[in-house]
Structure 1
Amino acid sequence: MPCAENGIFKFRMSIPELAVELLKKSIKEAKCNSTVTNIIITGNKNVGKSSLINAFLEKNDKPRETKVLEYSFGRKSSQKSGIEKCICHVWEYSGKLEMLKDVLTPIPINGNFYICVMIDLSKVKCIWNIIETCLQIITEKYQSTVYEIIIIGGKYDIFKNYDSEIKKHVCTMIRSIALLYNAHVIFHSTKEPPLLRRSKEVFYSMGFGKGITLKDRNINFTKPLIIPKGSDTWENIGIPVSNLDQIKNRYIARVTPEVDLQNNNSAIARNRTHPEPILDALSNLKYDELRNIACFDPAISEYLAGLNCIGHVKMH
């Protein structure tokens, strides 16, 4: 309110008005000084992406199936002023990977940017297609954007029981890809508390810390991999310097990729082609059975055990 002193009008603010102005100033400064982080996580379906995000954001909600794209966010307040200083936006994509580029386009990116490619280690036949498709789309989409990539190997609790040679082969491929794309690597499992705790720490450092900080390092395939970007070498991996095609050929030479059944074939198989509905139902049931067989991905040890059982039966 104005008041006159020696013929000069001066404006004085009441305590409530002053408090409002100070709050506005604090909020403005907080916005200028705030840290914004964006995390995009994609990869295999049903590998535990939602569970990991909920653990990071400390949500107790039961994870539900992600249809296409889910958005979450987290905030961390300053201990000094109580004004939010850090905001973390998390985008989870679980749709068709062929549409990943189109989905990424409208996502606003500002501040720190991290991309997580989460693969299902229990499905060794699917790993290559997932990791190749994701990384090619990401690098093409964000050519002029600064970001960091982290490859997360999910379901390690299953993978650790696989045949040693298969584990070594898969880990060699993942290390090669990480070195080629300058990516971090961690193995994860929601069923193993130490791995879950480490994954939460990594996400917390991305969202509210100083970036991805991996204190430990392990390149031994008999244990969960944890490899900070730039810390591995071709010599340590045990293979010559390789490009993407060479890494791919080396991997699929021993692990046949999952059979990709086209949607057109699926539609044809499920069209009504018999006069009796019961025959169509049986046909669809048989189709699903054949598809499951084509996509079945057993551990090598289980496969060999099965062959031994078959041989034993034939001998009798």
Structure 2
Amino acid sequence: MLPASLDEAVDALAAAPAAVPVAGATDLMEAVNAGRLRPAALIGLGRITELRGWRYEDGGTAVLGAGLTHARMDRPDFAALIPALADAARTAGPPQVRNVGTLGGNIVTAAPAGDTLPVLAALEASVTLARAGATREVPVSHLLTGLDPVRPGELLTWVRVPLLHAPQVFLKATGRSGPARAIASVALVLDPARRAVRCAVGAVAPVPLRPLEAEAWVAGCIDWDGSREIDPAAAAAFGEYVAAACVPDGYGAEGAWEAVTEGPSAAALRLRRTVSVLARRALGRALK
């Protein structure tokens, strides 16, 4: 099925709730080729132009179409709006993946190493889920953790991102040069209006992790009324605080979450060190 409008897509999904909506198909084809997925039917979203753009909304929010590609998010106009999301999109893979892979696909697939996911978590974004005759808003974090998942017959249509107009950073480690799957990633944003720091760590667990205590602690170390400087020792401590919260003892494989029976493994220590460095660097760049 190839609907030409959002209404047609919602109606098609209502008629065939077991069908899988597909846009770029980068994750879907990998799952099909690996034998993890055998969709009964597909609903192609590539002809729905309204889902491939973005717009401003009253209240300081950007509304992003679920069909927005990684390549489009990397353009200067978008990067000026949500720089951390543009940075994540830029590293999401080789050009052939970025040209077709979409924001909505990244969210619905919810792969642990999905590059946009920690950014959306740190920005406290939400999504619109549409079904025949109704829509509802769900925080991205609730969708990813399964607290409020996509229901049969629902289509993810829009992503709402609060515009903070403040520094934000995305960094990731891959283990090799060039575009590659993240071993660990960190998104960090400043929220000067609330005198807050928001951080999310990706790829080290099934969902992005928010080290809330570390966020609150480091926010108290920043000179919000002055230069926003922070003592280097405090920045280093923040990195350790984030790493300890997100990579507890017992992680077995680098970039994975396999438990081991006797203490932290060497891989877990390397992963914790990687997260610490990423968090410290992200904070430093945001405060420049």
* TM-score, normalised via structure 1 length: 0.25
State the structure with more CA Rg: 1
- The structure with the largest helix share of the pair is 1
* TM-score, normalised via structure 2 length: 0.26
